[in-house]
Amino acid sequence: MFFRVKETAFHCVPDRPDPIFARQLQEVLGGQWGEISVMLGYLFQGWNCRAPGKYKDMIMDIGTEEIGHVEMLATCIARLLEKSPVETQEGAAKDGLVGAVLGGAKIQDVIMAGMNPHHAIVSGGGATASDSNGNHWSAKYIVSSGNLLADFRFNVAAESQGRLQVARLYNLTDDPGVKQMLSYLLARDTMHQNQWLAAIRELEEDGLEMTPCPSNFPQELENQEFNYAFLNHSEGNESSQGRWASGPSMDGKGDIKYVEQPPAMGQVQDLSQVDPRLFGTPKAALTDKERGLMFQDEQR
């Protein structure tokens, strides 16, 4: 069960409206790697977690924190869209092209010049649950697999992609208030990368999971010829120069070999016939008799 305090977790007060940046900032709210993704992703992982309490509590704590991050970004975007376009023009007028666009412009001109039309027509100056191109947020972006190592690895990736996008946005604005907020989000992503990396270490030290994941699957059942082989699939062999191509494997369980010309081990890719009642193109034209058999009930 959840409760709310009325203050936001951190400052999210832009110095002035900027409808153009509002569109871009949507990416880290409602994009593939935005805060909705980590919020709902972590909450589902936490609710589905069956492992000892420290794991579930840690996952739920960060999931709950992320609700507050969604709140901060939604608030910041609504404020970037806040005042009337008339007022906006004045504040923005000294701002190069932004000013050029808004100076003397009518409301439709503002929209034309890179603003998200949904911010005007659909949400009326509010944030939306979508990305910087207007794609609606989708649960295709998240995972909760029941296996914590598989999920924590995904979470490390999410915090890396997320911090990368925030860093890019940091370079796309001059607004001190916005930068203050982004600076906080960068800090939290730094902590969260460390947090998930630590949690992976903890899983290993607790003997719960290790590489290859899932570690409960008996490795002797996997093909022993190809589980530590790098298969070159191109002319030339630059790919042989990295650590992935020779030496002991990262899991300590094998030695990597480099196969420069991997043979095709299977059969020619062809198929047999399907049921003629599916009307697929057959290997040879059906005889009239065969066609008749398919519908004999009908033709009586």
Least spacing, CB of residue 197 vs a second copy, in Å:
4
Number of Cβ atoms within 10 Å of the Cβ of 211: 14
The alpha carbon torsion through 169, 172, 178, 184 (nearest 10 deg) reads 30
Alpha carbon of 58 to those of 36, 146, 162, 195, 251: distances in Å?
A: 18, 16, 20, 9, 26
Contact residue for a second copy among 15, 91, 93, 118 (CB under 8 A) = 118
Phi then psi for 259, rounded to 5 degrees?
-105, 105
Tell which phi-psi region holds residue 234, choosing left (phi > 0), alpha (psi between -120 and 50) or beta: beta
Cα–Cα distance for residue pair 79/180, rounded to 1 Å? 15
Strand 255-259 to strand 247-248: parallel, antiparallel, or no bridges (unpaired)? antiparallel
Footprint (CB under 8 A) of a second copy, residues 19-78 = 20-21, 23-24, 27, 30-33, 36, 40, 43-44, 47-58, 60-62, 64-65, 67-68, 70-72, 74-75, 78
Instruction: For a second copy, give the closer residue by CB, 38 or 130.
Output: 130
Which tokens is 248 given? 């002991």
Residue count, binding to a second copy (CB under 8 A): 214
- Residues 137-156 within binding reach of a second copy (CB under 8 A): 137-150, 153-154, 156
Q: Binding a second copy by CB under 8 A: which of 83, 91, 93, 177?
A: 83
Of 268, 275, 272, nearest to 283 (Cα)? 272
Judged by CB under 8 A, which of 97, 289, 293, 300 binds a second copy? 97
Map the footprint of a second copy across residues 166-185, applying CB under 8 A.
167-174, 183-184
User: Any contact of residue 84 with a second copy (CB under 8 A)?
Assistant: yes
Which residue of 94, 104, 289, 300 would you call a contact of a second copy, by CB under 8 A? Answer: 104
Q: Going residue by residue from 192 to 231, which x/- string records binding to a second copy, judged by CB under 8 A?
A: -xxxxxxx-xxx-xxxxx-xxxx-xxxxxxxxxxxxxxxx
Write down the least CB distance from residue 90 to a second copy, Å. 14
Closest CA to 29 of 115, 117, 116, 132: 132
Residue choice 22, 38, 92, 101 for contact with a second copy (CB under 8 A): 101
Q: Segment 234-293, which members bind a second copy (CB under 8 A)?
A: 234-239, 241-245, 249-251, 254, 256, 262, 264-286, 291-292
